[in-house]
Amino acid sequence: MNDQTTFRALVVREQDGSFQRAVEERRLTDLPPGEVLIRVHFSSLNYKDALSASGNRGVTRKYPHTPGIDAAGVVAVSSVPQFVEGDEVICMGRDLGMNTPGGFGEYIRVPAAWVLAKPEPLSLYETMQIGTAGFTAAQCVDKLLANGLQPEQGPVLVTGATGGVGSLACALLAKLGFAVTAVTGKESAHDFLRQLGCTAVLNRQQAIGRVGAALLRERWAGVVDTVGGEILVGAIKATCRHGIVTCCGNAASGDLSLTVYPFILRGVSLVGIDSAECPLARRKAIWEQLAGPWHSALQEVLNSLSSCISLEQISHTVDAMLAGQTRGRIVVALGEQS
């Protein structure tokens, strides 16, 4: 391998104000400097990738660009002692795929601080079935549990339930013994959600509830919200006394319009979740949970909630994701795996 070594990557280019995506040949010299060069075997498609792949400047400032906030692969070159050639590693979040060429290319070059040894006993493929979305779901569940939430306290609401974060959160909570109520906009996905272990399914309007009321009937002991906006507002208003609501996404809206009453009259907690800049110690602790106590529970469902696509299939899958038409987790296989 030398600097002229070529590899394939999805490249998003801006042309006359619109954004075009194509699989192109790149050279290692196209990658930024960094301590670890990784041959990417698998990536995964997250909502943030769909935004980056469609010209969202809040995610990616400059084009041409290769998205992909997740990567799992093998170290090809390392200039630091903690990683050596052949190590199986994962790299997720930080700036990967935002303004640093990401996992939708067969190679990435990144700072060593962004790289984690592959959590055993997970395979590279399994780490990407989980990916940032699954890691985020795990962070949400961890916060609910840290707040003392127990299954006997009542149902947990999961919004955007067929999405990457939502489906993993439903499956994990159900396996941990919680009664899970899923919110979905997909009429056709009720069976899928029940197979993940959800005990009830609501449509989006049912989840929003009565607009204008400061509080709604107490229903949810906890909430995992991935969509924001009116659905999150409805969820907070219907959260039980001292319940906890985790907020990680804005698939519906970034707005949050409500009064302080759920917080000051019911002691509801609203907890924000950030995976991109999650501190290393917490990142490791969450992966230890995913690869340890939660592994067997998740292993049973990961295949049923994930699919695998090639680099060439990313572009139309991005459009489907932005239209809210995808479900579960989407792994991207690169190179020899595809």
Ligand X SMILES: NC(=O)c1ccc[n+]([C@@H]2O[C@H](COP(=O)([O-])OP(=O)(O)OC[C@H]3O[C@@H](n4cnc5c(N)ncnc54)[C@H](OP(=O)(O)O)[C@@H]3O)[C@@H](O)[C@H]2O)c1
Binding site for ligand X (CB under 6 A): 46-48, 132-133, 136, 160-166, 184-186, 204, 226-227, 231, 248-252, 273-276, 321, 324, 326
Beta carbon nearer to ligand X, 149 or 248: 248
CB nearer to ligand X: pick between 14 and 255:
255
Residue with tokens 């049973």: 300
Please state, in angstroms and as integers, the Cα–Cα distance from residue 311 to each residue in 39, 52, 175, 231, following that order: 15, 15, 33, 34
CA–CA distance, 56 with 59 (Å, rounded to integer): 6
User: Residue 42's closest CA among 322, 307, 290, 248?
Assistant: 307
CA distance 298 to 74: 24
Q: How far is the CB of 7 from ligand X (least distance, A)?
A: 26
Radius of gyration of the chain (CA): 20
The structure tokens listed for 142 are 């961890």
DSSP of 15-62, one letter per residue?
ETTEEEEEEEEEEGGGSPP-SEEEEEEEEEE-HHHHHHTTT-TTT--S
Smallest separation, CB 207 to ligand X (Å): 9
Q: Helix crossing, 295-302 with 124-146: angle to 10°?
A: 120
Shortest distance (Å) from residue 258 CB to ligand X:
17
Are the beta carbons of 244 and 143 closer than 8 angstroms?
Answer: yes
Of the candidates 332, 263, 334, the residue with the CA atom closest to the CA atom of residue 49: 332
Give min distance, CB of 169 to ligand X, in A. Answer: 9
CB of residue 160 to ligand X, shortest distance in Å: 3
Measured from the CB atom, the residue of 100 and 326 that comes closer to ligand X is 326
Do residues 307 and 333 lie in contact, with contact meaning Cβ atoms separated by under 8 Å?
A: no
Name the residue nearer to ligand X (CB basis): 10 or 231: 231
| Secondary structure class of 86 (helix, strand, coil) | coil
Q: Compute the least distance from the CB of residue 30 to ligand X, in Å.
A: 27
> Whose Cβ is closer to ligand X: residue 58's or residue 121's?
58
Residue nearest ligand X, CB atom distance? 163
Q: Is 217 exposed, middle or buried (0-12, 13-18, 19+ CB in 10 A)?
A: exposed
- Taking the complex as a whole, the smallest distance from the CB of residue 318 to ligand X amounts, in Å, to 10
Give the nearer residue to ligand X in terms of CB position, either 243 or 249: 249
Indicate the residue among 78 and 226 with the shorter CB distance to ligand X: 226
Q: Which is nearer to ligand X, 186 or 266 (CB)?
A: 186
Minimum CB–partner distance for residue 305 and ligand X (Å): 11
Q: How far apart are CA 92 and CA 128, in angstroms?
A: 10
